[in-house]
Amino acid sequence: MSPKVDFNYRLSWNLFLIVSGSLLQALGYKGIAAMHGFVPSGLFGLAALIEYNGGLLDAGVWYLLLNIPMFVLGYLYIGRRFLGYSFVAMLVVALAYSLLPLELPITDQLYAAVSFGVLSGSGAGIVLRSLGSNGGLDVVAVILNQRFNIGVGKTYFLFNLLLFSCSFASLDTDLVIASLIAAFVASVCIEYSLSLFSQRKLCLIISPRSDAIAAQIMAKLRIGATFLEGTGAYKKEPRRVLMVVTNNIQLKRLEEITFTTDPHSLFIVENTFTVIGSTFSRRKIY
């Protein structure tokens, strides 16, 4: 019997994320950005800028052509599975933009910029939840990060800085500012899409009754806990700090257990995004 494949690694699930996210992006690019002349961020933005400045081909075709050197580099330096999924995402965006009659009747420029940011950012975030990427600049950013420890955010910042500087030189100022608004909204939506269903709460509980609290947590919430050895700074007395990782749904129940057991407990909560291992999510292997 073949070993059970983790749901996040299944081909069907990853293709679903990639295709649905890419179609959302294409809807934003073709249905809003192209109608208003907005410049998207990333490599598709360069493709759009070429089209706006008299390119013989549409942005979808330019995007395919600009991706050729990116995927050649990716083939040499990145895992084949990551590259294959990223290629599908790039292909869906390019073909949907070039072939599908996508149009959203939004006339106000500000509303259009915000709507475009929401669609493109949400779509990009959905794709990034898969084992691939959106292609284009993502591929180069991953290579630079793996080989030279250059942050992915820095690569995007420098590229977009150059892209929007060129846009100011060749396009109407209002259009470029609207494009910047869309890029900001998109970045927020990407972060939200990535954190959806993945955000966890890291709780530190300091109490002389930490053993009783831990027993209640494991019995009622059926989640694990870890004791950390600490020392009080004032009295120099040893203390056991209880560390628990939970989600938003169980957080209130955890708080109730803590203060019901010891009303004088110190209860500290921190937001955390990446929790890998044990009963939580597995590390993505690209």
Segment 151-200, tens digit of pLDDT: 777 888 889 899 999 999 888 999 999 999 999 999 888 888 877 766 78
Question: Which helix or strand (DSSP H or E) is residue 194 part of?
Answer: helix 173-195
| Residue 210 shares a structural domain with residue 253 | yes
* Rg, the chain, Cα only: 24
Whether 1 is in a domain gets the answer no
| Residue 94 shares a structural domain with residue 182 | yes
Angle at the Cα of 50 from the Cα atoms of 46 and 51, rounded to 5 degrees: 115
Q: Read off the pLDDT band of 113 (50, 70, 90).
A: very high
Whether 2 is in a domain gets the answer no
Using the predicted structure, report yes or no on whether residue 281 has a pLDDT greater than 60.
Answer: no
| Residue 189 shares a structural domain with residue 108 | yes
Q: What is the pLDDT of residue 277?
A: 57
Q: Report the domain count for the chain.
A: 2
Asked if residues 139 and 83 have their Cβ atoms less than 8 Å apart, the reply is: yes
Whether 67 is in a domain gets the answer yes
Q: What are phi and psi of 59, to 5 degrees?
A: -65, -30
Using the predicted structure, report yes or no on whether residue 115 has a pLDDT greater than 80.
Answer: yes
3-class secondary-structure state, position 164: helix
Q: What is the pLDDT of residue 61?
A: 92
| Residue 68 shares a structural domain with residue 104 | yes
Q: Which of 152, 170, 196 is the last residue of a domain?
A: 196
| Residue 119 shares a structural domain with residue 22 | yes
Angstrom CA distances, 195 to 2, 46, 78, 191, 271, stand at 32, 28, 25, 6, 11
Q: Read off the pLDDT band of 89 (50, 70, 90).
A: very high
- 0.75 exceeded by pTM: no
N residues, the chain: 286
| Residue 114 shares a structural domain with residue 76 | yes
| Residue 192 shares a structural domain with residue 205 | no
Whether 118 is in a domain gets the answer yes
- Residue with token string 């990060």: 145
Mean pLDDT lowest among 81-90, 110-119, 152-161: 152-161
Whether 127 is in a domain gets the answer yes
Q: What number is the average pLDDT over the span 11-23? A: 91
Q: What is the pLDDT of residue 2?
A: 44
Using the predicted structure, report yes or no on whether residue 29 has a pLDDT greater than 90.
Answer: yes
Q: What is the pLDDT of residue 66?
A: 93
Whether 266 is in a domain gets the answer yes
Question: Which helix or strand (DSSP H or E) is residue 229 part of?
Answer: strand 226-231
| Residue 144 shares a structural domain with residue 261 | no
Asked if residues 89 and 139 have their Cβ atoms less than 8 Å apart, the reply is: no
Whether 284 is in a domain gets the answer no
Domain that holds residue 249: 200-271
Q: What is the pLDDT of residue 47?
A: 93
| Residue 138 shares a structural domain with residue 222 | no
pLDDT tens-digit readout, 206-242: 999 999 999 999 988 888 889 998 888 888 888 889 9
| Residue 169 shares a structural domain with residue 208 | no
- Between 2 and 117, name the one with better pLDDT: 117
Whether 279 is in a domain gets the answer no
| Residue 259 shares a structural domain with residue 188 | no
Asked if residues 76 and 143 have their Cβ atoms less than 8 Å apart, the reply is: no
